[in-house]
Chains A and B, each alone.
Chain A
């Protein structure tokens, strides 16, 4: 089995989450949450793309 990528990981997570959310929220609310999760994924990708180890190494050299 190949490792899952970020999109798959986020999708898998959101699938689990919406199972949970549907327990407490009317279905019409889910779309708005989903839209915000999409926005959050954009920011998550930016944070995940930052190579902290490399940046820390570079900063210490400076």
Chain B
């Protein structure tokens, strides 16, 4: 099953009995055992439990019952979602033997309740602190479009598993861009929901006021279906024509020519020339950086006092620096956040959808340490999120959509809207996907 059918096709086939969930699950498990080592996506595979869940789906169909809109759909989750009976590692070796979760994360339960079959857990940066999915304990996840390149992070295993066709649906989390960055680099659809739109209960926290969870898929229809299921309510359909603008300034500075070209093609197709310059974006990125470091550092401080040497050294250094951030600076960043969110609300009085690149460049090579930022060489991994971090701080829903690249590496475009206008956002994206401007591309050969 190199390129799986869509989630929608799978569920339809399983519900009508034309394919058996157990057969599909066996096929997926075989495929993972053969190909996972090429990409380093899965950290754990629950073969026995998956086959039992698939059998339950088949039994329901045989009994004339409907297993649900995701009947038999194989899915997997970033290794920070609670799965009942198993430790939640959050990508940390020190948590491999921690106490097992007593119940599934809310979102995992909702997907299982819709008939999907949980296959396993996926690789990530330790404690979600990174944009690379370079994990010293579980390995470096490789981009299926070019295995010498990063898949992005911190939900890199989730993105690579869908891009490689190992499973058609995965879940990640997005604090500063950890769904959008890997979705962009792996050529997928991914969403960071509005703050509070989708429950994060049962996921290992990072920076709690910024943490969100979201899915990865290969098509917009699949993303919408899963979004509505995990949000627990259907979107209220909008018939309004959205007012669209491109984010200028910060969001185009430092972008490569191929990324700017993709953005220009999207704007040209929409026939939109309006722009918005969010002059506070640079400060927003820095405030997001400080808040994340301070909250992450605070969360881990007690553990670091006694088990510091068990952390990924790169993560430990960031967390410790965050733990000692002066409180006055943290407060200043939080005060800015309040101002900035009000400022974003003001902007959304005049516009419905803002468009910007997801990352400044295509997937960097795994051995590429730096990239050009403001004319100087800077850490490639640290700067993959320069366009996602300011939108995270705003707490607004943002989809990273795959620009249709005929050949070459994937490019992601962010489409952001005000909370409550998600339906309008999906409506615009449907048009762009239908017109072939946005499309997930298959991996080479």
Report A's interface with B, CB cutoff 8 A. Answer: 9-10, 13-14, 17, 20-21, 24-26, 29, 32-33, 35-37, 39-40, 42-44, 46-50, 52, 55-56, 59, 62
With A40-B290, A50-B280 known to touch, is A56 a contact of B339 (CB < 8 Å)?
A: yes
Majority secondary structure, A binding face:
helix
A43 and B309: CB pair below 8 A?
no
The 5 closest A-B pairs by CB, nearest first: A32-B317, A36-B321, A43-B286, A46-B286, A17-B324
Are A47 and B343 CB-contacts (below 8 A) given A24-B305, A40-B325?
A: no
Assuming A25-B320, A43-B290, what are 18 further A-B pairs, CB within 8 angstroms?
Answer: A10-B326, A17-B324, A26-B309, A29-B317, A37-B321, A37-B324, A40-B289, A40-B321, A44-B325, A46-B283, A47-B283, A47-B290, A47-B329, A47-B333, A52-B332, A52-B335, A55-B280, A59-B343
Q: How large is the interface on B (under 10, 10 to 19, 20 to 34, 35 or more residues)?
A: 35 or more
For A29, list chain B residues within 8 Å (CB).
308-309, 313, 316-317, 320
- If A24-B308, A36-B321 touch, does A44 touch B290 (CB 8 Å cutoff)? yes
Contacts of A35 in B (CB 8 A): 317
When A52-B335, A62-B346 are in contact, do A46 and B282 touch as well, CB less than 8 Å?
A: yes
Q: How far is B335's CA from A50's CA once the two chains are assembled, in angstroms?
A: 11
Least Cβ distance of A13 to chain B in Å?
A: 5
Chain B interface residues (CB < 8 Å from chain A):
280, 282-283, 285-287, 289-290, 293, 304-306, 308-309, 313-314, 316-318, 320-322, 324-326, 329, 332-333, 335-336, 339, 342-343, 346, 382
Which residues from A are CB-within-8-Å of B335?
52
Contact: B316 with A47, CB < 8 Å? no
Contact A24 B304 (CB under 8 A): yes
Q: What are 30 sample pairs from A and B whose C-beta atoms fall under 8 A apart?
A: A10-B326, A17-B324, A21-B320, A21-B324, A25-B320, A29-B309, A29-B316, A29-B320, A32-B313, A32-B314, A32-B317, A33-B321, A35-B317, A36-B318, A40-B322, A40-B325, A43-B286, A43-B290, A44-B290, A44-B325, A44-B329, A46-B282, A46-B283, A47-B287, A47-B333, A50-B283, A50-B336, A52-B335, A55-B343, A59-B346
A24-B304, A50-B283 as given contacts; A33 in contact with B320, CB under 8 Å: yes
Q: A58 to B335, alpha carbons, bound, how many Å?
A: 16
Q: Which B residue sits closest to A40, measured CB to CB? A: B321
Chain B residues whose CB sits within 8 angstroms of the CB of A43 once the complex forms: 285-287, 289-290
Neighbouring B residues of A49 by C-beta, 8 Å: 283
The docked-state distance in angstroms from the alpha carbon of A19 to that of B290 is: 22
Distance (Å) between the CB of B303 and the closest chain A CB?
Answer: 11
- CA A44 to CA B332, docked complex, whole Å: 9
Q: Give the residue of A40, A47, A55 whose beta carbon is less than 8 angstroms from that of B332.
A: A47
Q: Output the least CB separation between B129 and chain A (Å).
A: 11
Contacts of B382 on A, CB cut-off 8 Å?
A: 39
Name the B residues within 8 Å of A14 (CB-CB).
Answer: 324
- Are the C-beta atoms of A59 and B342 separated by less than 8 Å? yes
Residues on A with C-beta less than 8 A from B314 are: 32
Nearest Cβ in chain A — how far from B172, in angstroms? 25
B336 touches A47 (CB 8 A): yes
Closest to B301 in A: A24
A29 to B316, CA, bound (A): 9
Are B332 and A48 in contact, CB atoms less than 8 angstroms apart? Answer: yes
Give A58 Cβ to nearest chain B Cβ, in Å.
10
Max chain B C-beta neighbours (<10 A), residue from A9, A40, A42: A40
**CB pair A13 B324 closer than 8 Å:** yes
Once the chains are docked, how many angstroms separate the CA of A17 from the CA of B321?
9
Give CA–CA (A50, B326) in the complex, Å.
Answer: 17
Q: Which residues of B contact A24 (CB under 8 A)?
A: 304-306, 308
The residue in chain B whose Cβ has the minimal distance to the Cβ of A17 is B324
